[in-house]
Structures are given as C-alpha cells and as structure tokens.
Amino acid sequence: MIRSEIINCTIDSHPQRIQRVLLDQWKDLEFVFPRMTTAALAETAHVYQTQMVDVFPWYFGTLYLFRIPEELPLPFDPGRDQLITAKHWLEHHWNLPEGRRFLSELSGHHCLHIINGKNPLRHSFIPYTEQTGFLSEIPSQLAVNSSFFTFDLLDADSPYDVFGTPFGLMVRNGTVLQPPLYDREALLVDSDGHVQIRTMGIRDVSCGIQGMIYTRPQHRITPQSSQTDLVIINDRIVDVRCGGKTHIPSSGYVISTDETNHRPGDPVLYALPDSWCFGIQTGPAAVIDGAPVSSFLSSYCHPLRPFEIKYPPSRYPLNYVKDRAARIALGCDKESRPVLVWAEGLKQPGPDDSPGVSLKEFAEILCDLGLVQAVNLDGGGSAEILLDGKRYLRTAADSERPVPAGLIIR
C-alpha cells in the first residue's frame, strides 16, 4: 500500500509544501532507466541553454548536444563504444565535409541540438545516453527521480564520460547494478530489513579483477607503468590501455592490472561484503540514527575552482545552511519501512509559493516527520514524485526534466 499526504508548513517565514509517501516494503522498490526520446533530448537542450549557457555565456562556445539513432549509418567504426567514439571522431572531424555531413544527418533525425555561447574558440560535443528520458512515460504506481549523473562539461572532462551517465551505488535483491563511488554516504538495507547509513567507495566492493584502483577525487590520470589500465564505468569495461597515462572518468574508475584477458565491452560483476537487499548512493546523508545531519560529510567540486578535482557534480549547492531548492529524500521510519519526502521549491516563487529548503532545513524536517535514516536524492529541477502518473506538488523546472535513473513501484 502507498500512502501519501501533503503537509503545509512555514520555514523561516516562508510557506512550504511537503509531500510524504509511506511505503510497505523495500523489496517493492526497483530501479528503472528511462529511454531517450526526441522530446527528452529537446528538453535536455532547453535545460542546457537556460540553466548553464545563459548563466555562463563566456565559458561556453558552441555545444553540439546529440544522440545516435539506431537506423543512422555511421561514418566511423563504432569501436569500443559508439558514443565515446562519436565524441572523439567529431572533435577531429566536425569542420571537415564528412563531419558536417554527419551532423546534418543527426539534425535530420531530430537527434542534434546546437547551443551557442559566446566563446568563439570552443566547440563541445555532448553525446547523450539512450537511458535518459521521462519517468512519467513509465507506467507505475509510484515513480521518483533518484541518482546524480554526468551533466556538464566539468563532470565529463575525460574521453570516456558520456553525458547522462548515472553514478553511485545501486543494489536491488542483493545484486549490485552500479558500484559505489567517491567514498560518500549510502543508504543500505540488509536481508533482515535493518536500515543503515554507511560511507561507501569502490574499494568496498569486489569485482574479481586484481590490481591498483585509481579513482577521483585523488587522481585525474593514472601514472605511467608497464601494466594494463582497465577503464570501467558502472558494470562494464569501456577501454583497455597499456602503459598508463589513462584519463579517469568522472563516472567511473581505472584498475591497473597484470591481467591481460580483458577486452572493451566485457561485463564487470560486483560482490558485496554483506547481505544487502537494497542500496542507493546519491546526495549527502540527511538523517543518521535519528539525528539531522548539520553539514556536508563529503567533498564537492567548487564551480569557480574546477581543477580541485573533488566530487562532481560541480554545480551542487555549496551552502548547506542557506541554499534553498526543491529536495527529495529516501529514508525509513522507526519500523524500518521506506519513506519518500519531497519538498516543493519553485525557481521564482511568489509570496504564497514554496521557495524550497536548505539541506540543513530539510534534514530537520525529515526528523520532525519521523525518519530515522535518510539520504538526499537528486533534487532541484529534477525533483518529482509521481503517483499513478500524477504530481501533487509543482516542479522547480518549467516542465518535466529527463533523468537517467529513478525508483518505481509497478
């Protein structure tokens, strides 16, 4: 059974609307990856234009935001990964006849959007995954956005990063769908239904490959060596390189190994150190053991100091106490049952609208609502809960944002 209620309250003299959704069992929640559509790509381009390029016009030059339809012949060998190869090929051919022709063909299939900033020397090619779409198009009793994903140029500054790639731990029915990254907090549910918050990194799971692990934020490029570098994003190897000097993706990691039997495209299977039936790792923890979290427990990248290689996404709110936005959290009550909470937050609120809440305020709200453990999911313009396809609060964006991952109950 899904039980939902809307709560009207006042936060720092501002009206605020909250939706709390109570669920029965963790096993009912499953991860879902929406599919890219023409409309989803167009909305993604709109977000880039209004939220990024219009705000920092001199940082951006010309952005080519694209996806590759299945029916389109390619002017290059797709090699290890079609989107990674397309990005690299366009960077070297965009101003040649074959490059212009390919871009024209993408446009003819409604699979290309060109966004113009004010930097005349910069051309950026932004390939988008096929798993970024609208949650509202997936039939379900309940749907909620979940994970962070590579979204801007600072998040995807290696040859291997593809935009719209979700990252962070995902566990369902004891299977690791995505590994943990960046030593940040994760919400974990064990086989007995007990819920805990634990800091998790890639070294806390095993993948059966022996070697030295390189990941951000400690490194950008692996050292020169005689070993083989395996570039891994989520559950597969996307490249194999010899000699080191390999760029480390924001959405993955590199293993330097003596093993020589691995190939691009090979799957990577992870083993858990404990018997967890569910796990998720997205935003910072909000409630731990019944107490609100009062500050960031993990590092984030500062947009004005992008070379400090801290945890992406780079445009995450920097002020834990003051920055208000729409928020989403997943946690549990004292009976360890799952609870979702959505704090409405409009981009340009009127006097009677919800301006959103800070992370500190949200943590305190979650405690007041009886949550014992909780982590933030991806909030802001992506924040939404749908019950039978219907929203009961207003989204911060002008329209529904495409996302690469969510949680649903069918």
Would you say residue 375 has pLDDT above 60?
yes
What is the Cα–Cα distance from 26 to 8, expressed in whole angstroms? 27
Cβ neighbours of residue 92 under 8 Å, at least 6 residues apart?
none
Residue type, 311: Y
| pLDDT of the residue at 245 | 97
What would the pLDDT profile of 113-156 be if each residue is shown by its tens digit? 999 999 999 999 999 999 999 999 999 999 999 999 998 887 88
Strand, helix or coil at 382?
helix
What is the Cα–Cα distance from 177 to 169, expressed in whole angstroms? 8
Q: What's the order of all strands across the beta sheet hosting 62-66?
A: 112-116, 62-66, 123-127
Positive/negative CA dihedral, 175, 178, 181, 183: negative
What is the Cα–Cα distance from 47 to 380, expressed in whole angstroms? 12
Would you say residue 316 has pLDDT above 80?
no
Best CA proximity match to 234, nearest among 205, 256, 191, 261 = 205
What is the Cα–Cα distance from 264 to 160, expressed in whole angstroms? 12
Q: What are the φ and ψ backbone dihedral angles of 91, each rounded to 5 degrees?
A: -60, -25
Cα angle, residue 132 at apex, residues 299 and 302 outer, rounded to 5°: 20
Q: Are 332 and 307 in contact (CB under 8 A)?
A: no
- Please give the average per-residue pLDDT across 216-225, as a whole number: 89
Q: Which residue has the tokens 């649903």?
A: 408
What would the pLDDT profile of 40-55 be if each residue is shown by its tens digit? 999 999 999 998 899 9
- Strands 112-116 and 62-66 come out as antiparallel
How does residue 312 score in pLDDT terms, banded at 50, 70 and 90? Answer: low
Best CA proximity match to 69, nearest among 108, 125, 25 = 108
Q: Name the DSSP class of 356.
A: -
Whether pTM > 0.75 for this model: the answer is yes
Q: Are 12 and 398 in contact (CB under 8 A)?
A: no
Cβ neighbours of residue 391 under 8 Å, at least 6 residues apart?
384, 385
What is the Cα–Cα distance from 127 to 83, expressed in whole angstroms? 6
- Please give the average per-residue pLDDT across 364-387, as a whole number: 96
How does residue 300 score in pLDDT terms, banded at 50, 70 and 90? Answer: low
DSSP string, 265-315: T-B---B-SS-EEEEE--S-EEEETTEE--S-SS----TT-GGG--SSPTT
Q: What are the φ and ψ backbone dihedral angles of 90, each rounded to 5 degrees?
A: -65, -35
What is the Cα–Cα distance from 355 to 349, expressed in whole angstroms? 6
